[in-house]
């Protein structure tokens, strides 16, 4: 009897343990399933392929924050910014001109405010960055143009020291930015870019250059050269190197002639905004060193959906640090023919093995509604390094033209067997 009771108790104990274990396993499985579901449903700030990195937002405020996180880790003093540039989403012209301050010695991202003040996402990013401060006053934020009174209060609440750049219009603010950069750097650049305030789609590619180099962007309209622009040009005392961005339909031949009294004038242009961005990426003045001059493999490009000025401006700091990149406008679903033709000229080719390089890379800015996965895949493929022999990516280990016929035949057979014929 005692043995029966003991056996029954043991069986009951085992049943209880197994039941509780099963419940626990079921709960763990459910938790893991829910965790996996929550992860996959969250849109990542970055989306990458082997040759591209997408800033996965089409909202200018969010895009600017993600770009800032990408370029300034803020984990040590050497990767924290000197000062953050705070520009308004209401004034593309002022925001674009302010990119001159992204460059050293300020060395900081452009972030956005709006008509209601500083968005919380921007405030959070400024706090994460903990700007070191510039100048004797150690100012941490440079506020560009008109801003709501709330902005000053918000910055004060966060303990951030700020300086304000004011002006009656975008041309005046651009002139003030030129003066501020000259003061901060200790020297005035002879070169200037002249862009149209009436045609942002032609002018905006200049932003990546001024974020990369000291030349400022100054403005004209279809009818005149604003007084503020004249003031900035006169400071160069007739020795300015002036680069007009855009065709005569945007900046007229008459204005070009008037600009000649302030220095040497050269025009960089394409017949439409997309071809204009390509022309600017390819241009190089060998005399002064001005211009990207990107016509060979081994470079970085920044692709932004055409017609989105604020998004393009938010991405301009990609030309300042890391893999420096000029702006190329593109279309939603695929590269326009002119962009495809340009990128094909940059495609790297190896002689023996892909590890030779050089390698291309692209930043893409915008979510999948503005730049589709098909567009990203196409850009990724066109940037991929390929075999100079034309045999595909599997054609490794070639000794070049000195190979014997038998070796070549062996490699061709190997190339056909590997990866389904290799990458073409």
DSSP codes, 2-16 = HHHHHHHHHHHHHHH
Q: Are residues 271 and 405 in the same domain?
A: no
Q: Are residues 209 and 234 in the same domain?
A: yes
Q: Are residues 415 and 332 in the same domain?
A: no
Q: Are residues 319 and 361 in the same domain?
A: yes
pLDDT classification of 393: cutoffs 50, 70, 90: low
- Which residue in 317, 300, 383, 314 sits closest to 348, CA to CA? 383
Tokens linked to 235: 């400071």
Q: Are residues 285 and 394 in the same domain?
A: no
The SS3 of residue 172 is helix
Backbone angles phi, psi at 385, to 5 degrees: -70, 140
Give residue 423's pLDDT.
36
Q: Are residues 413 and 313 in the same domain?
A: no
| Gyration radius (Cα) of the chain, Å | 28
Backbone angles phi, psi at 8, to 5 degrees: -65, -40
Q: Positive or negative CA dihedral for 25, 31, 35, 38?
A: positive
CB 263 within 8 A of CB 235: no
Residue 27, pLDDT above cutoff 60: no
Find where tokens 């499985």 sit: 29
Find where tokens 């750097």 sit: 185
**Residue 330 maps to a domain:** yes
Residue 243, pLDDT above cutoff 80: yes
List the end-to-end C-alpha distance of the chain, in Å, as a whole number.
81
Q: Are residues 265 and 378 in the same domain?
A: yes
* Cα angle, residue 141 at apex, residues 138 and 142 outer, rounded to 5°: 105
Backbone angles phi, psi at 238, to 5 degrees: 80, 5
Residue 13, pLDDT above cutoff 70: no
Considering the chain, what is the average pLDDT of its residues? 85
Region for 390 from its dihedrals, namely left if φ exceeds 0, alpha if ψ lies in -120 to 50, beta otherwise = left
**Residue 33 maps to a domain:** no
DSSP code of residue 6: H
Q: Are residues 328 and 401 in the same domain?
A: no
Give the domain range for residue 405: 389-420
pTM reported for the whole predicted model: 0.82
* Cα angle, residue 56 at apex, residues 291 and 209 outer, rounded to 5°: 10
- Which residue in 317, 348, 328, 212 sits closest to 274, CA to CA? 328
Give residue 215's pLDDT.
97
DSSP run (H or E) holding 118: none
pLDDT classification of 41: cutoffs 50, 70, 90: very low
Backbone angles phi, psi at 106, to 5 degrees: -70, -45
**Residue 25 maps to a domain:** no
Give residue 389's pLDDT.
77
Q: Are residues 215 and 102 in the same domain?
A: yes
pLDDT classification of 337: cutoffs 50, 70, 90: very high
43-68 per-position pLDDT tens digit: 689 889 999 999 999 999 999 999 99
Distance CA 203, CA 170 (A): 13
Distance CA 50, CA 31 (A): 32
Average pLDDT over residues 330-353: 93
Higher-pLDDT residue of 220 and 13 is 220
Distance CA 92, CA 124 (A): 23
pLDDT classification of 397: cutoffs 50, 70, 90: low
Give residue 264's pLDDT.
98
**Residue 29 maps to a domain:** no
CB 140 within 8 A of CB 80: no
Find where tokens 């085992």 sit: 14
Q: Are residues 171 and 275 in the same domain?
A: yes
**Residue 133 maps to a domain:** yes
Average pLDDT over residues 213-219: 97
**Residue 7 maps to a domain:** no
Q: Where are the beta strands (DSSP E) in 337-414?
A: 349-350, 361-365, 386-387
How far is CA 141 from each of CA 35, 169, 174, rounded to the nearest angstrom?
39, 21, 17
**Residue 369 maps to a domain:** yes
Residue 415, pLDDT above cutoff 90: no
Q: Are residues 138 and 170 in the same domain?
A: yes
What's the number of domains the chain is made of?
2
Average pLDDT over residues 8-30: 44
Q: Are residues 304 and 410 in the same domain?
A: no
312-327 per-position pLDDT tens digit: 999 999 999 998 999 9
Q: Where are the beta strands (DSSP E) in 43-202?
A: 46-48, 52-55, 84-88, 110-113, 141-144, 162-165, 191-196
Residue 412, pLDDT above cutoff 60: no
DSSP run (H or E) holding 304: strand 300-305
**Residue 22 maps to a domain:** no
- Which residue in 254, 100, 283 sits closest to 192, CA to CA? 100
Average pLDDT over residues 235-250: 97
């Amino acid at each position: 009897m005692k043995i029966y009771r003991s056996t029954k108790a043991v069986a009951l104990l085992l049943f209880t343990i197994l039941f509780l274990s099963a419940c626990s396993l079921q709960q763990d499985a459910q938790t893991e399933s829910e965790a996996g579901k929550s992860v996959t449903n969250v849109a990542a700030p970055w989306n990458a392929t082997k040759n591209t990195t997408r800033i996965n937002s089409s909202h200018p405020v969010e895009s600017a924050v993600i770009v800032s996180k990408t370029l300034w880790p803020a984990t040590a003093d050497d990767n924290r910014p000197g000062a953050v540039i705070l520009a308004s989403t209401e004034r593309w012209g002022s925001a674009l001109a302010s990119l001159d301050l992204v460059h050293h010695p300020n060395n900081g991202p452009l972030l956005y405010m709006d008509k209601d003040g500083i968005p919380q996402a921007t405030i959070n990013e400024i706090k994460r960055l903990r700007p070191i401060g510039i100048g004797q006053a150690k100012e941490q934020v440079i506020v560009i143009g008109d801003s709501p009174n709330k902005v000053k209060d918000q910055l004060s609440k966060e303990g951030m020291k700020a300086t304000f750049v004011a002006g009656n219009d975008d041309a005046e603010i651009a002139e003030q930015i030129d003066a501020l950069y000259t003061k901060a750097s200790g020297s005035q650049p002879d070169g200037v870019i002249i862009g149209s305030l009436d045609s942002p789609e032609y002018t905006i590619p200049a932003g990546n250059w001024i974020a990369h180099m000291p030349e400022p962007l100054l403005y004209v309209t279809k009818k005149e050269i604003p007084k503020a622009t004249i003031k900035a040009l006169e400071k160069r005392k007739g020795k300015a190197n002036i680069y007009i961005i855009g065709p005569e339909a945007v900046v007229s031949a008459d204005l070009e002639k008037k600009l000649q009294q302030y220095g040497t004038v050269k025009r960089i242009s394409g017949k439409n905004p997309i071809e204009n961005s390509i022309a600017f990426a390819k241009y190089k003045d060998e005399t002064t060193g001005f211009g990207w001059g990107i016509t060979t493999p081994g470079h970085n490009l920044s692709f932004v959906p055409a017609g989105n000025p604020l998004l393009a401006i938010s991405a301009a700091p990609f030309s300042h640090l890391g893999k420096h990149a000029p702006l190329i406008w593109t279309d939603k679903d695929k590269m326009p023919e002119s962009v495809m033709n340009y990128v094909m000229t940059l495609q790297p080719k190896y002689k023996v093995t892909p590890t030779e390089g050089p390698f291309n890379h692209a930043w893409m800015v915008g979510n999948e509604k503005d730049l589709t996965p098909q567009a990203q895949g196409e850009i990724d493929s066109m940037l991929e390094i390929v075999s100079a022999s034309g045999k595909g990516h599997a054609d490794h280990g070639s000794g070049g033209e000195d190979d014997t016929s038998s070796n070549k035949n062996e490699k061709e057979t190997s190339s056909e067997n590997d990866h389904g014929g290799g990458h073409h």
